[in-house]
Amino acid sequence: MDIIFYHPTFDTAYWLNALSAALPGARVREWKRGDKDHADYALVWHPPIEMLQGRDLKAVFALGAGVDSILSKLKAHPEMLPEHIPLFRLEDTGMGEQMQEYAVSQVLHWFRRFDDYQAFKLQAHWEPLADYQREDFTIGILGAGVLGSKVAEALAPWGFPLRCWSRSRKELPGVTSYAGVEELPDFLKETRVLINLLPNTAETAGIINGALLRQLPDQSYLINLARGVHVVEPDLLAALGSGKLKGAMLDVYSKEPLPPESPLWAHPRVAMTPHIAAVTRPAEAVDYIARTITQLEAGKPVSGQVDRQRGY
């Protein structure tokens, strides 16, 4: 079994050694330009077209939860990866736990009004504020896949009303599920904290726009943990300016790195992190990939395969 690996920033030596140890007998190599030798599996992130084009692979693994970079290349170069070759994404591999930490910490930050107290601190102003009530602090999660369901699971013990919205209805303990475009307004109208964990598809690009934000209660909050293309940034800034949104926590942006001239940098009610909400944990990713390849080789059913039409 031959496996080729390409990632522009990962520690390649670690991955080659770990994969070789997890798959005894496999020949694992770093792909470099000009490499046309046989391969059964490809492990990739932002792969050059020539890496995959013309290969009769058994499967391709994207080294992250998102596959939009591969799918966008396939629109222009469908020959890069024929339809019959399965494409897999990392379903969790530690990302769910990281998303849980991020979402819970920020929800509690706002619920305890630490944003208000920080603003008071900058003004040398001393004033205890009235507590928010849990029943008025509904959390709505856009996207109820692996990561969205993990975030809902972590928030459940805190007693907030929870709801989710997705393409199809979900059965999550303690979570009210909404599905389809027709149910989106009902999902939004009582959502005080909107957490975005949608996949990046043609249907979801630009979904968090002025029309959507106006359907939230006044003084709501937004956490974007999915992709920057989901949010229309001028509409976000307008919603913050009008008071429709009280605050936003952003991990992803329409352009990355975020340009220095972006008004998001200086906005007092926008908190930001540099696309670190959930990163690939190598040991867990290697375990998932090795397990999935072993199952594929044995003809057993596997999970994590991408539906190219849906985009996830």
Reduced to 3 states, what is the DSSP secondary structure of residue 2? strand
Catalytic residue among 275, 281, 308, 310: 275
- Match 């002025």 to its residue by tokens: 210
CB 193 within 8 A of CB 138: yes
Catalytic residue among 227, 267, 291, 308: 227
- Match 């004033």 to its residue by tokens: 127
Q: Edge-to-edge strands of the sheet including 175-179? A: 175-179, 162-166, 139-142, 193-196, 220-224, 245-250, 270-272
| Whether 33 is catalytic | no
Distances (CA, A) of 109 to 60, 104, 132, 143, 228: 40, 8, 12, 22, 22
Helix (H) or strand (E) holding 8, with range, is none
CB 142 within 8 A of CB 197: yes
| Whether 275 is catalytic | yes
Catalytic positions:
227, 275
